[in-house]
Structure 1
């Protein structure tokens, strides 16, 4: 096995920034990564919402003064230190931040509802920090030395994920509809939020339990996301850092010191680019190397098979894998322990229905383990998934919207797997093609609204493995059950779900649920699940949002439903209990 180069040969989509660079050089590097700017209305816009650009902006250790970087679509901003404080943003600039977008369309307040697909990791900000996003835009391993604003005034915002972070000041959630905070130190407390604010392992300064706050003292089991760092004086030699397992019962503090981590030299890490063949990437996996996927769109012609214990596949800059026809983007072999898959977007391709083979097996975008085979079962060395964002539809040719048709996005058959921030999205809206007018201009003048039989996917996630734990799961708009859980002793902390907008009354009559626990399951823990309806095209009635068998070891904490808009109803919250969600924007709770 040949060593890989260290420093690696980075593609243009990886931007390395040094604190020794002058302001003009730094500005020239950073400006292309920001969202498009509308000077007339003084706002960043959503123009890059479905673009093919991908960037990772990596700051070497140092102090960066007066940096003002808006973190755009498909952009990851990360420090290359072993602790967040090795990369510090000081001075008059805002540092990495995300404001509301499209102020010219949304009554001058802008919106955060479509502010997806970006991330901030492993840096420190000396000033207040604004990170006004919705799903698939996590903050991790950051140190905010003053206040953290996870909203932008009265702009609508829907979701978010902050994990393993330190906030010295106060954290303001504002009007965020829902949010998960895991292992965050809130120095001066946290406030705000609308429907479901979940705090897991966040210490004494987390808000107390209430109708809108679900506060859980300790994590069940904990693994942090791998990251990359430089380790020599010249800041050119790279290492892959893998935090070790913490059972969650002894230490809920943020793990940001670099202790209790394994370090792997990049001589044993394959740095892949989107221009390489799938076989070249697979060869590195077969040799036992870890793989870093640099920003870009990878059109796979075969699944990437991970079959070595403790192997890492880490995406930078929301590296996007488009699945081969009939097969997942990534497949983890059964019986494989300690695997880490992190920081990737998984996307379904458009396939001519006439050319799709009728003999194809179940098609998902991520297959962890194999149905019916012996699975990994090592509680001391669990597998883990971090920042996995699946997308079915949204971009591409308008004439091929009905060509996208898969069965599910994620299937987990192995036991003792941890998920941390999974957003599984059947696109409810898509880019307008040249010359195309919006089909629902009252909903959005800039996007197409998905209709029935477009971007089809049956289910977001199917779990058959035992002892699977997920912190932050969102499933939206799939055509049947949104989530199916058949494994024993599973646990989910924070669940956000929207039923599809485009279905007809048959959807309700078929008995589809927002969260379905299999009839044979004896033990399960589901914490703060929110199921929302926005039936645009028909008066759909869903009898109940969550269904589970009758067992004393199944607990569902603080479940609720919300009628977002339009027609139809969710008639009850869970197993026929709880009031119907009828009044717009007002949760119905049990």
Structure 2
């Protein structure tokens, strides 16, 4: 059904933006008023009056729903207004973004949907798709005014208003992990078969469902119940200690495009945009950005950064011959539509200086044919500066080793900068697809942290061949961790560490005196017999090193995880005893 124009509420939008301090000198500069910047062919800017609107969206979905490891990327941008009777199915590498200053400036009356990719309603491979900054009334959903969002990893759902209910799986099929941030659901959230989930700074009428690991940070309406009671495996943190919401692209009242960069929030609860508010922050007109398109070289991009411009990456694949260098304080690097960076000549993809206020969001970093040592490095080794008042913030960064093609790297992400914030990341050594195997996509570590006082919300790291996460800096905090250990160790001797059989999924260094983590799930899917992991988590036993709400699960009939943390916690075995083990606190 073709979308129809509804009430634009331009006057209300303008008034809200002025009141919220959004309008700044020069905001409408860049593209002329009402003129769309040249975002390239895979950014689709839509408005309610466009003819054939439904067909445009359906054509994107037809290309992307089967595109598990293909090169195509798309961003669908919705101009402010009301879209009557519009269905928006979302496939791989597709991001749907509202262009209002407030989520309610774009209103879809119809449906937004993620449909299970695998047979039997199985959504455990529903990766790399997202929706941000608009509202949906799901009159054309799955019934009962309910939106179906059947997803697993790398699915940013941010700054959204669901004017009804939302279900996080499809019928009775499995789904495996997900992310809410700055989300309002007027009705019910049904997590159903979701294995794990993290919600940050959100609000809803009610929440139902729990399987392994559900974490709520700064959420209104977090469900009652307490880990590890089956059906009540909830971890509730009352306030989000420190966060800066992800930047978003929007259209100002004069028709100019700009990027809003929210300010830091401390000890926050609930959404940032309640009651029509515009949260504090700064607005960057689009003419302060270099709009990157596939074909841009690293030399071109680095020259733009050196000249003081921000970067807006549009959808597509970027083959880089040298490392992107982000050095200027306050620089914003924002990707829309899952832009994918890759290097095949052994060069890291992105490095930052040890400077304050950097924002790097919405990038997909793919390991290349030659080992670059690291895909992304936040500040150089040995960095000493403190950034407590203006930290480096990373949002929605997704790393992949193998899957689309053979790739390798020693460590995907290294963080040396103190006070860094990470707000949702999936770091994945592929377990299926092309170029996958113990010697085909070798990768030792997903994340290595040397910086002090690094905080991460929503840490997903999977299948690396040694410790998935290594934490050497003091003061680390992690809210939600999900990890499947590698499927494919050929034999136990080939997968043995200095501390015993296998490599821990989460390892805190012996010199660390302060570290705390909440809501950790570690799962085994060993494909070869006689392979086990002795300890899911390894950490020094000190008063300042604390873990809350841990679970291990054995998912196939081979192998086991013998202890939850160090030598504490029961075994998770698929034969002869429970396949699940829980531990409420350590020490």
TM-score bucket of the superposed structures, by smaller chain: 0.7 to 0.9
Structure 1: gaps (5+ residues): 37-44, 357-361, 432-447
- The question of 1:505 aligning with 2:492 is answered yes
Find the counterpart in structure 1 of residue 397 from structure 2: 388
Q: Is the CA contact (8 Å cut-off) linking 2:263 and 2:279 kept in structure 1?
A: no
Q: CA deviation at 1:320?
A: 0.4
CA–CA separation in structure 2 for the residues paired with 1:328 and 1:98: 33
- The question of 1:346 aligning with 2:365 is answered yes
Q: Pick the aligned partner of 1:474 from 443, 460, 465.
A: 460
Find the counterpart in structure 2 of residue 97 from structure 1: 113
- The question of 1:14 aligning with 2:32 is answered no
What's the RMSD between the two structures over aligned residues? 1.7
CA–CA separation in structure 2 for the residues paired with 1:454 and 1:480: 15
Find the counterpart in structure 2 of residue 292 from structure 1: 312
- The question of 1:239 aligning with 2:254 is answered no
Find the counterpart in structure 1 of residue 544 from structure 2: 553
Q: Pick the aligned partner of 1:219 from 216, 221, 240.
A: 240
- TM superposition outliers: structure 1 runs of 4+ over 3 Å: 3-7, 204-208, 583-586
Find the counterpart in structure 2 of residue 365 from structure 1: 375
Q: Pick the aligned partner of 1:254 from 248, 252, 271.
A: 271
Find the counterpart in structure 2 of residue 464 from structure 1: 450
SS in structure 2 at match of 1:15: strand
CA–CA separation in structure 2 for the residues paired with 1:514 and 1:158: 18
SS in structure 1 at match of 2:556: coil
Q: Is the CA contact (8 Å cut-off) linking 1:323 and 1:365 kept in structure 2?
A: no
Q: CA deviation at 1:232?
A: 3.3
Q: CA deviation at 1:110?
A: 1.9
After superposition, what is the alpha-carbon deviation per residue over 1:304-353, rounded to whole angstroms, capped at 9, x for unaligned? 1111111110011000000353332111112x1011110110001123xx
Q: Mean alpha-carbon deviation: is it higher for 286-295 or for 252-261?
A: 252-261
Find the counterpart in structure 2 of residue 571 from structure 1: 562
- The question of 1:486 aligning with 2:472 is answered yes
Q: CA deviation at 1:508?
A: 4.6
Judging changes above 3 Å, is the alpha-carbon distance between structure 1 residues 20 and 47 closer, same or farther for their aligned structure 2 residues?
Answer: closer
CA–CA separation in structure 2 for the residues paired with 1:123 and 1:528: 29
Q: Pick the aligned partner of 2:342 from 293, 310, 322.
A: 322
Q: Is the CA contact (8 Å cut-off) linking 2:402 and 2:408 kept in structure 1?
A: no
Q: Pick the aligned partner of 2:218 from 166, 189, 201.
A: 201
After superposition, what is the alpha-carbon deviation per residue over 1:455-479, rounded to whole angstroms, capped at 9, x for unaligned? 1110000000000000000111111
CA–CA separation in structure 2 for the residues paired with 1:227 and 1:46: 25
Find the counterpart in structure 2 of residue 415 from structure 1: 418
SS in structure 2 at match of 1:198: strand
Find the counterpart in structure 2 of residue 451 from structure 1: 437
CA–CA separation in structure 1 for the residues paired with 2:401 and 2:222: 39
SS in structure 1 at match of 2:117: coil
SS in structure 2 at match of 1:513: coil
Q: Is the CA contact (8 Å cut-off) linking 1:364 and 1:411 kept in structure 2?
A: yes
CA–CA separation in structure 1 for the residues paired with 2:526 and 2:425: 24
CA–CA separation in structure 2 for the residues paired with 1:494 and 1:507: 30
SS in structure 2 at match of 1:279: helix
SS in structure 1 at match of 2:305: helix
Q: Superposed, which structure 2 residues align to 1:33-112 within 5 Å? A: 33-35=60-62, 47-90=66-109, 93-94=110-111, 96-102=112-118, 106=119, 109-112=120-123
Q: Is the CA contact (8 Å cut-off) linking 2:460 and 2:483 kept in structure 1?
A: yes
Q: Is the CA contact (8 Å cut-off) linking 1:207 and 1:215 kept in structure 2?
A: no
Q: Pick the aligned partner of 1:587 from 565, 580, 584.
A: 580
After superposition, what is the alpha-carbon deviation per residue over 1:11-32, rounded to whole angstroms, capped at 9, x for unaligned? 011000011213xx21232122
Find the counterpart in structure 1 of residue 197 from structure 2: 179
Q: Pick the aligned partner of 2:432 from 419, 423, 429.
A: 429
CA–CA separation in structure 2 for the residues paired with 1:525 and 1:35: 44
Q: Pick the aligned partner of 1:516 from 492, 507, 521.
A: 507
SS in structure 2 at match of 1:241: strand
Q: Is the CA contact (8 Å cut-off) linking 1:518 and 1:548 kept in structure 2?
A: yes
Find the counterpart in structure 2 of residue 444 from structure 1: none
Q: CA deviation at 1:46?
A: 5.7
Structure 2: gaps (5+ residues): 1-28, 139-145
CA–CA separation in structure 1 for the residues paired with 2:202 and 2:223: 9
SS in structure 1 at match of 2:215: strand
Q: Is the CA contact (8 Å cut-off) linking 1:319 and 1:344 kept in structure 2?
A: yes
SS in structure 2 at match of 1:281: helix
CA–CA separation in structure 1 for the residues paired with 2:395 and 2:155: 12
- The question of 1:123 aligning with 2:123 is answered no
Q: Is the CA contact (8 Å cut-off) linking 2:262 and 2:281 kept in structure 1?
A: yes
CA–CA separation in structure 2 for the residues paired with 1:291 and 1:278: 12
SS in structure 1 at match of 2:127: coil
- The question of 1:533 aligning with 2:530 is answered no
After superposition, what is the alpha-carbon deviation per residue over 1:216-244, rounded to whole angstroms, capped at 9, x for unaligned? 111121110001001134x4x20010000
The number of aligned residues is: 531
Q: Pick the aligned partner of 1:113 from 124, 130, 135.
A: 124
Q: Is the CA contact (8 Å cut-off) linking 1:56 and 1:76 kept in structure 2?
A: yes
CA–CA separation in structure 2 for the residues paired with 1:208 and 1:415: 35
Find the counterpart in structure 2 of residue 160 from structure 1: 178
Name the TM-score, length of structure 2 as normaliser. Answer: 0.88
Q: Is the CA contact (8 Å cut-off) linking 2:344 and 2:369 kept in structure 1?
A: no
Q: CA deviation at 1:145?
A: 1.0
Name the TM-score, length of structure 1 as normaliser. Answer: 0.87
Q: CA deviation at 1:372?
A: 1.9
Find the counterpart in structure 1 of residue 8 from structure 2: none
SS in structure 1 at match of 2:44: strand
Q: CA deviation at 1:281?
A: 1.2
Q: Is the CA contact (8 Å cut-off) linking 1:35 and 1:73 kept in structure 2?
A: no
Q: Is the CA contact (8 Å cut-off) linking 2:30 and 2:285 kept in structure 1?
A: no
